[in-house]
Amino acid sequence: MSYSGRCNCGAVTATMDGEPVGVRQCWCRQCQKAAAGGPTHNAMFKTAEVALSGDLSRWSYLAPSGNTLTMHNCPRCGTPVYAQSSARPQFMTFRLGFLDEPHGLAPSVAIWTSEMPAWAKLDPAMESWPQQPPPPPQAT
C-alpha cells in the first residue's frame, strides 16, 4: 500500500511506499500546543520509504524523552508535515491531517497520557503509555 500527502497550499508533497510502523495519538505538552489543546494524530513511516518534494522550514527542541525532535513545516502555509526524533532517524512521523484522504488510518496507541488535561477522554480499547513507549521494530 502507498500513501500520499500535501500541505494546504500544495507546495510540499510526500509519498510513502509502505504501511506505517505505528499510528499514534500523542498527548505530550508540545503536541497539545501544536494541536490547540488536544492530541496530535500521527503515522510513523520508514524514512527509506518516503519521498518528499518542496521546501520545508524546521525547528528543533529537546523533548521530555531526552531526544531532540525536529519539526518540519511548509514555510508558505505553515502546515505541519512531519517530525523526526534524533533517537530514530530511520522513521518519519507524519500528521494524519497532512495525508490525503481516504487513508483509512486511525491511532491504535495513545502516548504521553500522563500529560493529558483533566477533561480529556481516552478510548478504553486503545493501548496507552504514560510517557514514551518502546521504539517500533527496526526498519530493514
CATH number of the domain that 115 lies in? 2.170.150.70
The answer to the question of residue 137 being in a domain is no
pLDDT in tens, 67-114: 899 999 999 999 999 999 999 999 999 999 999 999 999 999 999 999
The three three-digit cell numbers of residue 112, written as one number: 504521553
The answer to the question of residue 78 being in a domain is yes
- CA–CA distance from 13 to each of 6, 76, 117, 131, 132 (Å)? 4, 13, 33, 31, 29
The answer to the question of residue 113 being in a domain is yes
Beta-carbon contacts of 94 under 8 Å, excluding residues fewer than 6 positions away, are 5, 14, 16, 42, 43, 44, 45, 81, 82
CB atoms under 10 Å from CB of 131, counted, come to 12
- CA–CA distance from 63 to each of 4, 46, 86, 115, 119 (Å)? 28, 21, 10, 13, 24
C-alpha 81 chain-centroid distance:
8
Residue 138, pLDDT > 80, answer: no
Q: What is the dihedral of CA 76, 82, 83, 84, to 10 degrees?
A: -120
Tell me how many domains the chain contains: 1
* % of the chain beyond a pLDDT of 90: 80
pTM of the model: 0.87
The answer to the question of residue 133 being in a domain is no
The answer to the question of residue 39 being in a domain is yes
What domain range is 56 assigned to?
3-128
Radius of gyration for the alpha carbons in the chain, expressed in angstroms and rounded: 14
Mean pLDDT of 3-9: 97
Contact 71, 60 (CB under 8 A): yes
